[in-house]
Amino acid sequence: MKPEISVIQQFEDDKPVVCILGTKTIPDFLELTATEKEYVSRQIEAGEEFVSVNIYNKITFLVTLKESPDHFRRREGLRRTAYNMRKLFKGESFKDLVITSNEAYDGAVEDYAEALLLSLYSFDKYKTSSEGEKQKKDPSRLLLHGPQDDASIKWLIHLTDAVYFSRNLINEPVNHLNATALAEEIRKEGDSSGFSVEILQKGKIESLKMGGLLAVNKGSVDPPVFCILEWKPENRLNRHPIVLVGKGIVYDTGGLNIKTGDFMDGMNGDMAGAAIITGVISTLAKSAVPVHVVGLVPSTDNRPGGNAYTQGDIIKMYNKLTVEIGNTDAEGRLILADAISYASKYKPEIIIDIATLTGSAAMTFGNQAIAVMSNADRKYLKLLEECGNEVYERIAELPLWDEYEELLKSDVADMKNVGGREAGAITAGKFLEKFAEYPLIHLDIAGTEIQKKDNYYKLKRGPATGLRLLAEFINRLPNNIYIRE
């Protein structure tokens, strides 16, 4: 259960408090004694990240900000401190936790609260409790003290709600969340958040001749779906929509090129891209961001069932290009390609796809950066990079040079769906570019999303990396790129 967020103007000194210190000055409103202040000062001088003072039935935590020449790194340092402190608040029966600051930067309270909320997330809906077992006692409310910007607080609430929603979907096992069930969850989120959702069933997908999605689905007993999400406010500032495309593979066995070893572990989260763009659009709709956005989610599982597509098959895609299948485990790009082609009907300003696509991206950047490839105007990449720094979901660019297209050549079709071991992340992006009639930004989150241990508040097994990045990016578009006429 996600803790609630409230703003308080009057300091509540009977509750546990986290105070973020912008300087070494300890504020009087904490009501610490001279001896206690001396103790805290010694700990701060010794370089402690945080100090706790426990007085009878009240506990105070003082957090020091790390020095950095870059403000965005200072913000991330505070977020990481919140993660490091998360265990202090578990099992302590803290119903309320006050978060305040003294001479810290504007937004420090919100940054700490955001990271703490994301650090407290857990997926435990299928755990049963023995009688008398001690229940988890995370704080149920975070009380943000002081003058806070109303818009930023609402954004914090909507954004963290969306991350929780997306993480829940990513963590659902496929026996509870097949493609049809995913579509229904997206529909329910649209109803509650205020954006529209249209779900195309298999018959419609067949009539549209989405050969990539249909080929991947051939080994499954469950039908595919294609979801169209739309947030179209009356006061929108863009003439043409931003189209987001999210990979919706609810489970990836690799198909007939079946995954070996432990590479199938966690593949219920191969639909992270779909969950992420749903969370992004939910955040934008709830926050009434004046940007027209369309989301496209092609969804199926990839299994080696009875009539599964095979290596050597030739399929015709939605845009009529033919593709020779070189590997059935390169299925994500096939369903994304159909969706990217379909995006042309909206005459989009830009197409952004996000997917757990290639092991190559993970091997290149590890869990520290989202691999990005783009043929779009550099102004979008510049803004995306700035947003990536601010939310610390950073991007690292790979080239889309024409020479890489040579690796995708086929003797029997227009192209192959794989280009070999070399430059795997790049050739995947180059493949997708062939289906984009409008500017494309391709985000490969395989490294940042599929991880075995926590990367601070970006928790293991589906942190929904990229959601905060894209939400921030689109939220900033009106002030950075769009000009009212």
**Pairing state between β 248-252 and 293-302:** parallel
Token pair of 171, please? 């963590």
Q: Which residue shows structure tokens 């095979």? A: 310
**Cα end-to-end span (Å), the chain:** 44
DSSP 417-484: S---STTHHHHHHHHHHTT-SS-EEEEE-HHHHS-SS-BTTB-SS---TTHHHHHHHHHHHHHHT---
Token pair of 143, please? 């009380």
Q: Can you tell me the distance from the alpha carbon of 466 to that of 266, in angstroms, rounded to the nearest whole number?
A: 18
Residue 439 makes CB contacts below 8 A (sequence gap 6+) with 349, 350, 351, 374, 375, 376, 377, 380
Q: Which residue shows structure tokens 């009977």? A: 14
Residue 67 makes CB contacts below 8 A (sequence gap 6+) with 74
Q: Is 460 a catalytic residue?
A: no
The candidate with the shortest Cα–Cα distance to 332, out of 253, 262, 277, 386, is: 253
| Beta bridge partner(s), residue 302 | 252
Q: Is 259 a catalytic residue?
A: yes
Token pair of 35, please? 């001896």
Query: Biggest alpha carbon distance in the chain?
Result: 82
Residue 62 carries which side chain, given as an amino acid letter?
A: L
The candidate with the shortest Cα–Cα distance to 438, out of 285, 305, 303, 245, is: 245
| Contacts of the segment 156-161: beta carbons below 8 A, 24+ positions apart | 156/5, 156/110, 156/113, 156/114, 157/5, 158/282, 158/283, 158/286, 158/287, 159/114, 159/283, 159/467, 159/468, 159/471, 160/2, 160/5, 160/114, 160/117, 160/118, 161/2, 161/282, 161/283, 161/286
Backbone angles phi, psi at 464, to 5 degrees: 65, 40
| CB-count exposure of residue 54 (10 Å: 0-12, 13-18, 19+) | exposed
Which residue of the set 2, 37, 141, 259 is catalytic? Answer: 259
Which residue of the set 167, 333, 416, 461 is catalytic? Answer: 333
CA angle 85, 449, 475 (to 5 degrees): 80
Active-site residue list: 259, 333
